[in-house]
Structure 1
Amino acid sequence: MNFFKIIPPKIFPILLVNFIGILGYSIVVPILIFIVTDLGGNGFIYGILGAMYPFFQFIGAPILGSLSDRVGRKKVLIISQLGTFLAWLLFLLAFILPQTELWSQHTGLTGSYVMTLPLLVIFLARIFDGFTGGNISVANAYLSDISTDEDRNKNFGKMGASTSLGFVLGPAVAGILASTYLGEVLPLILAAVISLIAIFVINTRLEESNPCVVDTGGIELKSFRRFFQVEHKDCYFDGELQANPQVKESWKTILSEPGIPLLFSIYFLTFLAFSLFYAGLPIYANTILHWSASDLGIFLAYSSLIMVLVQGPVLNWLSDKVSNEALILIGSLLLALSFFLLSIENILILYVANTLLSVGNGLMWPSFMALLSRTGNKQKQGAIQGYGNSMGSIASMFGLILGGMLFESIATYVFVIGAVIFFLITILMAGKFLNRRKEKQVSVAAQG
Structure 2
Amino acid sequence: MNNKNKNKDDNWKVFFALFFVIFVDVIGLCIVFPIIAPLVYDVHSSLLPAGLSLTAKNWIYALLLALWPLCLFFSAPILGDLSDKFGRKKVLLSCLFGEAIAYSIGAAAISMQSLSLMVISRIIAGIFAGSQPIAQAAIADISTVENKTRNMSKIVLATTLGVVLGPLIGGFTANSHLFSFFSYATPFQVATVIALLNAILLLVTFKETHIVQHKLKVKWMKSIRLFTDAFKSEKIRVISFIFFLIMISWSIYFQGLAFFLIKEYAFNTSKIGFFYGLIGIASAMTLTFGMNLLAKKIKQEPILFLLGLIAMIICGILSSFSTAIYLQCIAAVLGAFGVAITYTLSLSFYSNSVGEGKQGWIMGISGSLSGAGWAITALAIGPMSGIRDNLSFVTMLISAVACTIILLFSMKKIQRKIDS
- Give the C-alpha shift of residue 142 in structure 1: 4.5
Amino acid at match of 2:388: I
Relative distance call for 1:327 and 1:185 in structure 2 (3 A) is same
Of the structure 1 ranges 387-396 and 147-156, higher mean CA displacement relative to structure 2 is found in 147-156
Of the structure 1 ranges 415-424 and 323-332, higher mean CA displacement relative to structure 2 is found in 323-332
Residue 183 of structure 2: aligned partner: 183
Q: Distance in 1 between matches of 2:195 and 2:109?
A: 19
- Residue of structure 2 aligned with 1:19, choices 9, 20, 23: 23
Amino acid at match of 1:402: A
Q: Distance in 1 between matches of 2:89 and 2:403?
A: 34
Relative distance call for 1:157 and 1:204 in structure 2 (3 A) is same
Residue 197 of structure 2: aligned partner: 197
- Residue of structure 1 aligned with 2:373, choices 386, 395, 399: 395
Q: Residue 306 of structure 2 contacts residue 404 of structure 2 at CA under 8 Å; is this kept in 1?
A: yes
User: Equivalent residue of 1:411, what SS?
Assistant: coil
Residue 427 of structure 1: aligned partner: 405
Q: Distance in 1 between matches of 2:313 and 2:144?
A: 32
Residue 163 of structure 2: aligned partner: 167
Relative distance call for 1:175 and 1:395 in structure 2 (3 A) is closer
Matches within 5 A, 1:121-136: 121-136=117-132
Q: Distance in 2 between matches of 1:16 and 1:178?
A: 23
Q: Distance in 2 between matches of 1:156 and 1:390?
A: 20
- C-alpha distance after superposition, 1:232-287 (max 9, x if no partner): 7xxxxxxxxxxx96474952795566744444433432222223213321111112
Q: Distance in 2 between matches of 1:187 and 1:301?
A: 15
Q: Residue 335 of structure 1 contacts residue 357 of structure 1 at CA under 8 Å; is this kept in 2?
A: yes
Q: Distance in 2 between matches of 1:336 and 1:122?
A: 35
- C-alpha distance after superposition, 1:48-94 (max 9, x if no partner): 21111122222212212333344444443333222211111211221
Q: Distance in 2 between matches of 1:391 and 1:60?
A: 14
- Give the C-alpha shift of residue 410 in structure 1: 2.2
Q: Distance in 1 between matches of 2:148 and 2:409?
A: 23
User: Equivalent residue of 1:42, what SS?
Assistant: helix
Q: Residue 157 of structure 1 contacts residue 366 of structure 1 at CA under 8 Å; is this kept in 2?
A: no
Matches within 5 A, 1:11-50: 13-37=17-41, 38=45, 39-40=47-48, 42-50=57-65
Q: Distance in 1 between matches of 2:146 and 2:292?
A: 12
2:105 matches 1:90: yes
- Residue of structure 2 aligned with 1:350, choices 297, 321, 328: 328
* TM-score (ref. length: structure 1): 0.75
Matches within 5 A, 1:14-413: 14-37=18-41, 38=45, 39-40=47-48, 42-97=57-112, 99=113, 118-142=114-138, 157-179=153-175, 180-181=179-180, 182-206=182-206, 208=208, 213-214=210-211, 230=212, 246=217, 248=219, 251=225, 255=230, 259-318=235-294, 322=299, 324-343=301-320, 344-373=322-351, 375-376=353-354, 378=356, 381-413=359-391
Q: Distance in 2 between matches of 1:387 and 1:62?
A: 10
Q: Residue 157 of structure 1 contacts residue 312 of structure 1 at CA under 8 Å; is this kept in 2?
A: no
User: Equivalent residue of 1:188, what SS?
Assistant: helix
Relative distance call for 1:130 and 1:231 in structure 2 (3 A) is closer
Q: Distance in 2 between matches of 1:283 and 1:440?
A: 40
Amino acid at match of 1:332: L
Q: Distance in 1 between matches of 2:372 and 2:170?
A: 28
Relative distance call for 1:354 and 1:156 in structure 2 (3 A) is farther
Give structure 1 stretches of 5+ with no counterpart. 1-7, 100-117, 215-229, 233-243, 444-448
Relative distance call for 1:63 and 1:300 in structure 2 (3 A) is same
Q: Residue 69 of structure 1 contacts residue 382 of structure 1 at CA under 8 Å; is this kept in 2?
A: no
Q: Distance in 2 between matches of 1:432 and 1:151?
A: 34
- Give the C-alpha shift of residue 319 in structure 1: 5.3
Amino acid at match of 1:22: V
Relative distance call for 1:266 and 1:148 in structure 2 (3 A) is farther
Q: Kindly, what percent of the aligned residue pairs are identical?
A: 27
Amino acid at match of 2:315: S
Residue 414 of structure 1: aligned partner: 392
- C-alpha distance after superposition, 1:19-64 (max 9, x if no partner): 2322343222211211223222623311121111122222212212
- Give the C-alpha shift of residue 133 in structure 1: 2.3
Amino acid at match of 1:348: Y
Structure (1/2) with the larger strand percentage? 1
Q: Distance in 2 between matches of 1:166 and 1:57?
A: 17
Relative distance call for 1:261 and 1:15 in structure 2 (3 A) is farther
* TM-score (ref. length: structure 2): 0.80
